[in-house]
Amino acid sequence: MKKMVLISIILAMFLSGCEKSPDDTPSKKTKIEDCIEPYNPYNDGGGHYAGFNWAAENAGDDCDGNSDEFNEGCAEFHRQLDEYDECVANSSK
């Protein structure tokens, strides 16, 4: 009899954990205030920093500088910008 009660309790716990409440579902809509604009994470004076700043100040996706560091900084700006633009597009205004 004790085994049957224990099995029933475990089964009830297992089955109740399978249901999703509306609060458990992540929302794709965010507030526009939650969107983070691109920011330069690099230390001043390096190629990464220069590439990031160059990309922020110039239009286009051309990250074809003279160094890998510059190109990586430029690419980081565009990655952050794409992420920001996607966030803004999915935000509830």
Structural domain includes residue 22? no
Whether 82 is covered by a domain: the verdict is: yes
- Could you tell me if 35 and 91 are in contact, meaning their C-beta atoms sit under 8 angstroms apart? yes
In a domain, 93, yes or no: yes
Give a yes or no: residue 91 inside a domain.
yes
Its pTM stands at 0.66
64 within a domain of the structure (yes/no): yes
| Structural domain count of the chain | 1
3-class DSSP state for residue 67? coil
Its sign, for the CA torsion 17, 23, 26, 28, is positive
For residues 67-75, give the mean pLDDT.
Answer: 96
pLDDT tens per residue across span 26-57: 555 678 889 999 999 999 999 999 999 999 99
Residue 51 lies in a domain: yes
| Residue 3 domain-assigned (yes or no) | no
Question: What residues make up the domain containing 88?
Answer: 41-93
Question: What tokens does 27 get?
Answer: 């929302």
Q: Is residue 84 part of a domain?
A: yes
